[in-house]
Amino acid sequence: MGLLQTAFLVAVSYVGWKTAGLPFVPFDLFDWAARVLPGSVVTVAIEWLIAIALALHAGNISTAAKVAEQLIAVTGQLAIGSVAASLLFAGLSYSDEPAVLPGGVLGAILGLFAILVELQVNKVSSQSMVNLAWVAGTFVTWGIALGWMSDRLNRVKSRQTDGRRQFFKRLVLVTGLPSLLTALWGYALEGRRVSAPGARWSDDHPLPNDGARVTPLVGTRPELTRLENHYRIDIDTRAPVIDINQWHLTIGGLIERPTAMTLSELRREEPLHQFVTLSCISNPVGGDLIGTTRWTGVSLRRLVGQWGVQPRATHMRITSADGFFETVALDLIERDPRVMLTYAWDGLPLLAEHGFPLRIYIPDVYGMKQPKWIVGIDFIDRWEPGYWVQRGWDREGRMLATSAIDVVAIEPKPGAPDGRKEVVAGGIAHAGARGISKVEARVDDGEWREAQVRDPVSETTWIVWRADLAAPDGDHTISVRCSEADGTPQPGAFHNKRIKLS
């Protein structure tokens, strides 16, 4: 009874969210837990999510992980509701008093907790009475309904056993069925893949390395990632929704005059276009939490020059709409004009999931250091740990060299002298903004063979490689490794692919 009733509560809450933008407690509760749990716990949870997504052979790790998060969030609320209802029923079994009042009290307690969570994750402000009343109202109604059902069941039970079955049938019809239909509706709604409208830069421009000598092996991931296929990682179950008419970038702290900039003002500054490979520090070897596109924005060096920053300032603290934050050293900005505030990817305004309207680009570091959905910049006189650094992650977040096999093609060469077959492997390699000097591939424990490396799109993107190998019939493992421009070999495990020749 508790499970069905909680499922109904979740369904009603979902409909409220989708039709009227009201808070959806299960997700907000999950986002809150992700913030308050110790960093080590969250880190292990993330590793598990990625491992599960990999084990399921999900085509897209980040989408699978996000769906898993959402499932866990809903399951979590169902569990909390069921357990709370069971405790209520257990308590009620000692008395003959009507259960409506205790049920309502239980609903009110849970509702109050939900409201505190909503206020903490900043999904609703204390001013938005409608949202708060909605959360409280749905929970209290849930509790009252539980009590009422418990009373009814007791009355039915005392009369006849057949009535009990009738009661549960009706309960399933009234709460279970609508919940199931809502779930199906949600499945259809969320599963729909909307492609972003508008002309993309890549629709009608060749890449800068168009004439490069080495051609990618068919099956290698595209050099430029389609926006819809770019991985997406962030701390919340949903991307924050930003109303561009309300949004502006506030610039404060140690500057002469605190100021603000709108998106159109930023767009009027001289634009900078850069081809960028962004990677998540959690990308598994050979994984797809890495993508390349054309970023457009304004160099922060230009902006900082205009803002009149006090000499005392050494860092900027960037804050995001979702509560994420990071500090950037001003001497890095001074040294590297590529550090920029980005408002477009592949010629389109940033997609909602990728940080609309504004995100930063910092060459050579993982995504964990690069806030999306930026709302504020504050100049400060010291370094401060960012969101993930506070949770024990690497301070620098410098991208490590990595190489991956995307595809292995077997080209049977009948009559080759030693009966070996030609095997061609292809993939990508990346070492932040430091460049790749060499990619090597091998069969089993054989000799490393140097791969052909295609000129990259830019000095900050991955490179595409292909390697000609050969092997006799049987099962084999193909491996790849790379070296940075200065010769430093890639750290960590090599990416492998199993093949069978026959």
Ligand X SMILES: Nc1nc2c(c(=O)[nH]1)N[C@H]1C(S)=C(S)[C@@H](COP(=O)(O)O)O[C@H]1N2
Q: Which residues bind Mo ion (CB under 5 A)?
A: 233, 280, 367-368
**DSSP assignment, residue 192?**
-
In the complex, least distance from residue 234 CB atom to ligand X, rounded to whole angstroms: 3
Q: Measuring CA to CA, how many Å separate 172 from each of 3, 8, 106, 111?
A: 11, 10, 22, 24
For ligand X, which is the closer residue by CB, 142 or 388?
A: 388
Q: CA–CA separation, 76 vs 29, rounded Å?
A: 9
The arrangement of strands across the sheet holding 495-501 comes to 449-450, 436-443, 474-484, 495-501
> Could you tell me the smallest distance in angstroms from the CB atom of residue 31 to ligand X?
10
Residue 215 is encoded by which pair of tokens?
Answer: 């051609």
Closer residue to Mo ion, CB minimum distance, 280 or 298: 280
Per CB under 6 A, the list member of 232, 248, 421, 476 interacting with ligand X is 232
Judged by beta carbon distances under 5 to 8 A according to partner kind, the member of Mo ion, ligand X, none in contact with residue 371 is ligand X
Q: Out of 33, 235, 242, 263, name the contact with ligand X by CB under 6 A.
A: 235
Q: Is 258 helix (H, G, I), strand (E, B) or coil?
A: coil
Residue 434 contact among Mo ion, ligand X, none, beta carbon within 5 to 8 Å by kind: none
The one segment of 72-80, 210-218, 228-236, 405-413 that binds ligand X by CB under 6 A: 228-236
Sites for ligand X among residues 283-342 (CB under 6 A)? 320, 322, 324
Among ligand X, Mo ion, none, what binds residue 234 when CB lies within 5 to 8 Å by partner kind?
ligand X
The rounded distance, in Å, linking the Cα atoms of 378 and 313 is 10
Q: Which of residues 353 and 406 has its CB atom nearest to ligand X in the complex?
A: 353
Q: Is the CB of residue 437 less than 8 Å from the CB of residue 453?
A: no
Work out the widest C-alpha separation in the chain, in whole angstroms.
91
CA 446 to chain centre: 39
CA dist 282 and 289 (Å) reads: 8
Smallest separation (angstroms) from Mo ion to the CB of 353: 13
**404: Cβ–Cβ under 8 A, 6 or more apart, which residues?**
285, 286, 287, 427, 428, 429, 480, 495
Dist CA 345 CA 275 (whole Å): 10
Do 405 and 497 form a contact (C-beta atoms < 8 A)? yes
Q: Which one, 79 or 244, has the nearer CB to ligand X?
A: 244
Query: Reduced to 3 states, what is the DSSP secondary structure of residue 333?
Result: helix
Phi, psi of 222 (to 5 degrees): -60, 145
Distance from C-alpha of 459 to C-alpha of 453, rounded to nearest angstrom: 14
- Closest contact distance (angstroms) between CB of 55 and Mo ion is 20
Choose, by CB under 6 A, the member of 69, 234, 346, 440 that binds ligand X: 234
* 320 versus 483: smaller Cβ distance to ligand X: 320
276 binds ligand X (CB under 6 A): no
Which of Mo ion, ligand X, none sits in contact with 214, Cβ below 5 to 8 A by type? none
User: What secondary structure does DSSP assign to 262-273, as a single string?
Assistant: -HHHHHHSPPEE
Q: Which does 479 bind (CB under 5 to 8 A by kind): ligand X, Mo ion, none?
A: none
With binding defined as CB under 6 A, does residue 354 bind ligand X? yes
Instruction: State in angstroms the smallest separation of the CB of 43 from ligand X.
Output: 12
Q: Which residues of 105-133 are buried (b: 16+ CB within 10 A; e: fewer)?
A: ebbeebbeebbebbeebebbeeeeeebbe
The entry of Mo ion, ligand X, none near residue 278 (CB within 5 to 8 angstroms by kind) is ligand X
Q: Which does 354 bind (CB under 5 to 8 A by kind): Mo ion, ligand X, none?
A: ligand X
Give how many residues touch ligand X by CB under 6 A: 19
Of 227-235, 267-275, 430-438, 472-480: span binding ligand X (CB under 6 A): 227-235
Instruction: Identify which of residues 66 and 476 has a Cβ nearer to ligand X in the complex.
Output: 66
Pick one of Mo ion, ligand X, none as the site partner of residue 4 (Cβ within 5 to 8 A by kind): none
Please say which residue, 368 or 443, places its beta carbon nearer to Mo ion.
368
Give the nearer residue to Mo ion in terms of CB position, either 27 or 231: 231
- Of residues 207, 249, 278, 451, which one binds ligand X by CB under 6 A? 278
Report the chain's C-alpha Rg in angstroms: 28
Closest-approach residue to ligand X (CB): 367
**Alpha carbon of 440 to those of 423, 446, 494: distances in Å?**
14, 12, 11
β-strand pairing of 290-299 with 315-320 = unpaired
Q: Which window, 14-22, 362-370, 403-411, 443-451, contacts ligand X (CB under 6 A)?
A: 362-370
Length of the chain: 502
- Contacted by 361, from ligand X, Mo ion, none: CB < 5 to 8 Å by type: none
> Pattern of binders to ligand X over 28-67, x per CB under 6 A?
----------------------------------------
**Element containing residue 466 per DSSP (H, E):** strand 463-471
- If contact means CB under 5 to 8 A according to the sort of partner, which of ligand X, Mo ion, none does residue 351 touch? none
Cβ-proximal residues to 10 (8 Å cutoff; 6+ apart), any chain? 26, 74, 77, 78, 179
Judged by CB under 6 A, the chain residues 365 through 394 that form the site for ligand X are 367-368, 370-373
Question: Which residue has tokens 């099956």?
Answer: 219
| Residue 7 in the binding site for ligand X (CB under 6 A) | no
Interface ranges with ligand X (CB under 6 A) = 230-235, 278, 280, 320, 322, 324, 354-355, 367-368, 370-373
